[in-house]
Amino acid sequence: MSNLQMGQATLRRPRRRGRRILAGSLLALVLLGALVASQREIIRLAAQGYVYGYPLVMTALTRDNFTRGIAPANRLVHVPAFPEASFRDIVRPNVDTLYSLAWLDMQAGPWVFELPASERYLLMQFLDAWSNVFASLGPRTLGSEGGRFLLAGQDWQGEVPEGLTLLRSPTRIAWLLGRVQTNGKADYAAVHAIQAQVGLRSLEDWRQGKPASAEPFRLPGEPAVPPLHQMRALDGGQFFTRLAQLLVDNPPGPLDAAAVDDLQKLGVQPGGAPQWNWLQRQAVALGMRLAERGMRQALEADDGRVNGWRMPPQHIGDYGSDYGLRAVVAMAGFGANLAADAVYPNADVDGQGRALEGGRRYRLHFAAGELPPARAFWSVTAYDGDGYLIDNPLGRYALGDRDPLHYNADGSLDIHLQADAPGEAQQGNWLPIPASGPFSLTGRIYLPEPQVLDGRWHMPAIEPVED
């Protein structure tokens, strides 16, 4: 064969391979189109069911991590110190307050919960298995007074003892997520004294005068896989089987009849396991992927931003039939409280709508008289792209009005956002960010003034600082 013939043959072979690849790609597209067309209803039902059931499954995954590695169910745990950057059990953890936590099985109850009087911000919220707040105990509802409460499940029919106020959980799983204002590490001892007066015990132990006690807080010996990562690893059968099991004791809300009907059409019944053929399993997997992509797009959407910040809707923590919001919050900020108790604006873009990037320098500038209007206190916390704290040499994850900030001569305030330490004069106002990759900020405004809730006040834009 001549060199010319060899060259022509060599040219023909890539062309043939290219045609085969193109033909294979076209066949795959045709098959995918056929799948979508024949299973359109299954895809739709799976996507809707995933969004609807996401917070219930996230609740169970979070509880399981906690009860396996930190403390058993039905035991109160007081967290003695702020989380560090290695903490992965909850996304967007709070470093303004020390937590008091308990995962309750209401079928084993009822439970007596005691709260001391306190002049500082102290919020004890109880969430059901769907992540709705069913009770919020704190300065907004109790003032500086404490109280004694009886936590009971929906089916409990006993008599409420005198001196106790009844709180009912709509679901078998209930989560106590308590926060006590903590003004830095030097304030730990004062907060521990308050935590020691928060009590949880069974009604029977309370009647017998047995003292309430708390479980020592301990992190698991081996870091647990974060619930968010566990959720992403579930296939369709695993997710919907877990959802079906949880539905038995954690019933849907009164507005959920249509969503429950759609689950039944998908073959998801309380206590059962869905039976799908191969084609249906592929359709369910596609529906779940589409739903998760939609949830992530909702997190990144520009709709409703002001100065690059998103303000949570007023019905956060009490979602009704807004399943999309409920799912997105479970993904990005699980355990949200009611807006009237605290508001958490979030930003992952600058004032021009450009994604915040680690390694760059930014400034958050509050004009004089425009600091966050809080009746309690406020802060700003930085998180990495997955919503976890950012490791840095100072161990500084947030800044706020309780820190020794340096204010400008006109009363304005600058917070410096960068990975490398700024000059000495700016150190106190430095909030570290990653050296690379995306990051975001969460503002926290505790007991917000009316102008925060009604939209008359907004967080200022995050400004890039050019070298």
pLDDT in tens, 149-201: 999 999 999 999 999 999 999 999 999 999 999 999 999 999 999 999 999 99
Per-residue pLDDT at 17: 55
Per-residue pLDDT at 220: 74
Residue where the block lists tokens 């704190």? 138
Every domain of the chain with CATH number 1.10.3360.10 lies at 40-59+226-300
Q: Which is more confident, 294 or 83?
A: 294
Per-residue pLDDT at 2: 45
Per-residue pLDDT at 327: 97
Q: What b/e readout covers 255-283, taking b as 16+ CB neighbours within 10 angstroms?
A: ebeebbebbeebbbebeeebebeeebbbb
Using a pLDDT cut of 70, give the percent of the chain over it: 91
Per-residue pLDDT at 219: 74
Per-residue pLDDT at 97: 96
Residue where the block lists tokens 């303004």? 96
CATH class, range 323-464: mainly beta
- The answer on pLDDT for 386 being more than 90 is no
pLDDT in tens, 256-282: 999 999 999 999 999 999 999 999 999
Per-residue pLDDT at 20: 62
- The answer on pLDDT for 33 being more than 80 is no
Q: Residue 30: which pLDDT band, with cuts at 50, 70 and 90?
A: low
Considering only 8-17, 97-106, 145-154, 344-353, which range has the smallest mean pLDDT?
8-17
Per-residue pLDDT at 7: 43
- The answer on pLDDT for 460 being more than 80 is yes
Per-residue pLDDT at 6: 41
Give dist(CA 15, CA 21) in Å, integer.
10
Enumerate residues 6+ apart whose C-beta is below 8 A from 200: 75, 76, 102, 111, 112, 113, 114, 176, 212, 214
- The answer on pLDDT for 467 being more than 80 is no
Mean pLDDT value across residues 201-220: 91
pLDDT in tens, 306-331: 999 999 899 999 999 999 999 999 99
Q: Residue 217: which pLDDT band, with cuts at 50, 70 and 90?
A: confident
Every domain of the chain with CATH number 2.60.120.600 lies at 323-464
Per-residue pLDDT at 231: 96
CATH of domain 71-215: 2.60.40.1610
Q: Are 100 and 78 in contact (CB under 8 A)?
A: yes
Mean pLDDT value across residues 410-439: 96
Mean pLDDT of all residues in the chain? 91
Alpha-carbon distances, residue 273 vs 190, 237, 239, 267, 276 (angstroms): 50, 8, 10, 8, 10
- HSE of 424 in the Cβ direction (CA atoms, 13 Å)? 0
Per-residue pLDDT at 3: 43
What's the CATH architecture for 40-59+226-300?
Orthogonal Bundle (1.10)
Which pair of structure tokens corresponds to residue 392?
A: 């840095």
How does strand 111-115 pair with strand 165-169? unpaired
Every domain of the chain with CATH number 2.60.40.1610 lies at 71-215
pLDDT in tens, 71-109: 999 999 999 999 888 887 677 889 999 999 999 999 998
Per-residue pLDDT at 35: 60
Per-residue pLDDT at 9: 44
HEC sequence for the chain: CCHHHHHHHHHHHHHHHHHHHHHHHHHHHHHHHHHHHHCHHHHHHHHHHHHHHHHHHHHHHHHHHHHHHCCCCCCEEECCCCCCCCCCCCCCCCCCEEEEEEEEEHHHCCEEEEECCCCCCEEEEEEECCCCEEEEECHHHHCCCCEEEEEEECCCCCCCCCCCEEEEECCCEEEEEEEEECCCHHHHHHHHHHHCCCEEEEHHHHHCCCCCCEECCCCCCCCCCCHHHHHHHCCHHHHHHHHHHHHCCCCCCCCCHHHHHHHHHCCCCCCCCCCCCHHHHHHHHHHHHHHHHHHHHHHHCCCCCECCEECCCCCCCCCCCCHHHHHHHHHHCCCCCCCCCEECCEECECCCCCECECCCCEEEEECCCCCCCECCCEEEEEEECCCCECCCCCCCCEEECCCCCCECCCCCEEEEEECCCCCHHHHHHEEECCCCCEEEEEEEEECECHHHHCCCCCCCCEEECCC
Per-residue pLDDT at 303: 73
Residue type, 333: G
